[in-house]
């Protein structure tokens, strides 16, 4: 059994699909029904006694500074590549913390903190069973092991969510291949998840952490935000 010792929260992006809100505030700091999205993530980690929390920042990085005072467990890591590169650059910036870690996006809302529990057997992603059609990344799983993934979605599979755990061994491999892709191959327009799922799938034996759709909400655009918090209807 492995245990998460640290967390990496991805929060460097521009949040372009949330304009005009994100002209003035980074997406993870947007309040939803009175609570900032990233704070539901931080609080969920603390409830699970994960107390080493690294937040990767870029866009409007100074607006995250208050979190270091409010939460002494938080440190900020600057991603200097956030404007030109995809989110592989954010995990590359935090690569020294990948062993025994949980990686999360800062622009989601955690409703059930138990989905962030630190104990795990296999590295891999939180996922929900998707019977019908989805356009999200969809994993195929056999006997608890991920055997494939579709970027274009599909049906009858496990929808991947932006919560993943990595053992010490897999964290070392993930760092190695991040450096290969980002530094050596200059492959900077991919998602960091591509590294394990598509670039080097043979190097990882990934499992899943089952959860329910209502446990977490990923907000992609203003329409989805307004559906949860009607005070944002004026932006539609």
How high is the pLDDT of residue 139? 96
Residue with tokens 């059930």: 112
Q: What band does 235 get if pLDDT is binned at 50, 70 and 90?
A: confident
pLDDT digits (tens, 9 = 90+) for 18-47: 999 999 999 999 999 999 999 999 999 999
What percent of the chain shows pLDDT beyond 70?
A: 100
pLDDT digits (tens, 9 = 90+) for 2-24: 999 999 999 999 999 999 999 99
Q: Which residues contact 216 (CB under 8 A, 6 or more apart)?
A: 108, 109, 110, 111, 112, 115, 126, 161, 163
In whole angstroms, what is the distance from residue 52 CA to residue 142 CA?
Answer: 33
Residue with tokens 């460097």: 12
In this prediction the pTM is 0.96
């Amino acid at each position: 059994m492995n245990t998460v010792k640290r967390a990496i929260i991805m929060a460097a992006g521009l949040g372009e699909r949330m304009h005009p809100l994100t002209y003035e505030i980074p997406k993870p700091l947007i309040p939803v029904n009175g609570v900032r999205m990233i704070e539901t993530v931080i609080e969920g980690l603390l409830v699970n006694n994960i107390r080493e929390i690294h937040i990767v920042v870029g866009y409007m990085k100074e607006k995250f500074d208050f979190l270091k005072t409010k939460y002494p467990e938080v440190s900020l890591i600057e991603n200097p590549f956030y404007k030109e590169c995809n989110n592989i650059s954010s995990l590359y910036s935090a690569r020294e913390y990948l062993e025994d870690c949980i990686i999360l996006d800062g622009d989601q809302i955690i409703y059930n903190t138990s989905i962030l529990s630190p104990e795990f057997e296999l590295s891999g992603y939180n996922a929900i069973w998707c019977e019908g059609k989805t356009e999200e990344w969809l994993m195929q799983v056999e006997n608890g092991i991920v055997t494939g993934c579709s970027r274009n979605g599909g049906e009858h599979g496990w929808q991947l969510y932006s919560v993943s755990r990595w053992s010490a061994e897999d964290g070392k491999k993930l760092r190695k291949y991040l450096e290969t892709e980002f530094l050596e191959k200059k492959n900077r327009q991919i998602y960091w998840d591509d590294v394990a799922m598509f670039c080097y799938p043979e190097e990882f034996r990934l499992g899943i952490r089952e959860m329910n759709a209502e446990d977490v909400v990923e907000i992609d655009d203003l329409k989805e935000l307004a559906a949860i918090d009607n005070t944002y209807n004026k932006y539609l």
